[in-house]
Amino acid sequence: MKAWQKYAAEALGTFMLVGIGTGAILAVQFADQPSLVAVSLAFGLALITALYTVGRVSGGHFNPAVSLGAFLDRRIGLLDMLWYWVSQVAGALVASLAFLWILDADAVASTYTQINRAVVDEAGGFIAETVFTMIFVMAILVLAKSQAHTKYLGMGLALSAVHFVGLVFTGASVNPARSFAPALVGNTWDGFWLFVLGPLAGAVLGWVLYRVIVLGDTDFSDDAEEIAGAVITGV
């Protein structure tokens, strides 16, 4: 498998995830029938579609937080992670730009992950994004090791599950690329920092829980050395 194929797969998969997920937000708006169920299922089904389409090419991350978790677990190198991030942001941007061309900037802005300030403040939103992403990334790290052909269904259902809860609080980003694209194209940045730092912090915690609970590894000294070595050498 050539490196460019993996990066192209990540771009296409993220395009599908963000395009279908944010498209569902627009669809329920136009139908004047806002539906927590519809949007939650749309993101999960979008992930399943992307995974079955190009997941075997790149590993099917489509999310910088997932790529960070994979890097921490030494499943991909630092350079691959960085290129995955670039590819994921590019794919997400194309999805938001498509809706800009079809509709307008206001429509794209409406798909941004908004903090429900009637429920939580930014600090609470950060904690929510961290916890939701922790659950999601841990599930991905476990399921990715499965040999079952149904593992992609589990990944999609995991994303739907965190959306069922998270949509009311923060819009359930759990994916910096998913929030960045409509923020840039729709020029709306309210609380953007928590949609970046929350998922990245959640990815780290999800990896820690995976190592401790699933693998029974409580000694992180060797992991720290390997990660530090990867950062220094760039591989």
CATH number at residue 200: 1.20.1080.10
When pLDDT is cut at 50, 70 and 90, the band that residue 27 belongs to is low
Instruction: Determine the structural domain holding residue 204 and report its residue range.
Output: 3-233
pTM of the full structure: 0.90
Closest CA to 85 of 75, 95, 102, 71: 71
- For residue 209, what pLDDT is reported? 92
Question: For the residues 203-225, what does the mean pLDDT come to?
Answer: 90
**Structurally, how many domains does the chain consist of?**
1
| Digit-coded pLDDT (tens) for 58-94 | 999 999 999 999 999 999 999 999 999 999 999 999 9
- For residue 5, what pLDDT is reported? 79
Q: Tell me what percent of the residues of the chain surpass a pLDDT of 90.
A: 66
- Angstrom distance (rounded) from CA 55 to CA 53: 6
Question: For the residues 105-112, what does the mean pLDDT come to?
Answer: 95
Say which residues have a Cβ less than 8 Å from residue 54's Cβ, sequence separation at least 6. Answer: 9, 12, 13, 60
